[in-house]
Chains A and B, each alone.
Chain A
Amino acid sequence: MDIRFEQVGFTYQPNSPFEQRVLFDIDLAIKEGSYTALVGHTGSGKSTLLQHLNALLKPTSGTVTIGDRVITAETNNKNLKPIRQKVGIVFQFPEAQLFEETVERDIAFGPKNFGVPEEEANRLAAKTLEMVGLDESYLQRSPFDLSGGQMRRVAIAGVLAMEPEVLVLDEPTAGLDPQGRKEMMEMFARLHHENKITIVLVTHLMDDVADFSDYVYVLEKGTLVKQGTPREVFQEVEWLQAKQLGVPTATAFAQKLVTRGIHFDSLPLTSKELAEMLIAKGGLPYDE
């Protein structure tokens, strides 16, 4: 399912004294099966933009096309449920959305809202809990007894249980330890490759963008200032650093090597790539 933005603008509290425009003429496309990253400063409008992806917000100007549904400012709030099922959003700190008595019921809550019968919903709960790396013994526990990281997994399982075609992740690893962060990002990559889920990732971590995404949109003050594959976008190290957006660690390091006179045809994005390029230069032997 494709999602297309055409000339999308959004204003909070329009025609009031507290009016605030946050999105300006955004054109973007999220293709089916892609892994799109959305980066930008805090306050650049990322979170506002992602709420358009499942019609939680409607554009004040322009159109958003989600699959075959066209959302404009005039779109009625009724009948948006099918969209919400197809586009699952994992909000920042999703553990705040847990409320049921057991993990099982909390995960099954989403599917049940979309009309999945109880038994099937419970089956989905067990299945998705396993996908996020927790075993069955957690099903009957209260979500409030779990650790922060486990709560986050349960919350994510609750979104995955709706079996969305597009998964939108708003800084899914914020506040997790390095191990948990790695596991979670690899889990999303697996979902992307094996289950063919389209992923939209909002993040500050350029390493994650370089490692996983295949297309990047850079947002600044509510406008798209750059887009392309990570390779294209991260070549302009100075431009990105001037905007204080940062580049992947390997790219930043390679850039330092460039100032010391080492030439790269194109800057590497990951440490593995960097290592390979350095070996190819016939420099030091590379022992794993």
Chain B
Amino acid sequence: MMQGLDYLKETPSQTAGPYVHIGLTPNALGNPGIYPQDLGLSPIREGARGERIIITGRVIDGAGMVLRDALFETWQADADGIYPGNDPRGAADPNVTGWARVAADFDTGIWRLETVKPGRVPFPDGRLMAPHINVWLVARGINLGLQTRICFEDEGAANAECPVLARIEHKARIQTLMAKRTGPGEYGFDFKLQGENETVFFDI
């Protein structure tokens, strides 16, 4: 008998369910008194370098309904393309934490993220990826957190060179990852979970 590969198996995922806010954003839910404040309120602090941007949008299901129980987290580099924390290339802007937890509004389903536009980060082979914000999205009905990226429609040259976007075989789908400029420093981005114009989700 040959030797076994003694790796463990990853713990299987389960849906975050309808009450995810109790655990992850209790103050926003209206359950104050346990934690002084919710985690991930902002991915930046005052003084962060780079272009300040506001992205707003919705999460929409396959029947066209706007989710009001969706929650997602974002992870991004600073304006120079360096990640806070364990980036092997060095230290990031100290005013960029890079991580945010964003919940859809309980009544309208609209979410809002205020941050700085991230710089370009190299792909493992050294080519630069387009500026992007990594997203991990959970909600009732989603069995395993969905991974996607928010890119920017006004980064045409960088988008054209991006090795990740190049992996998307159906070129018409690339636009589902593009935040659309709606004003100075303002972008709109809807996550479409299913159906027409379905957002590209990754297995990374």
Decide whether A and B assemble into one complex.
no
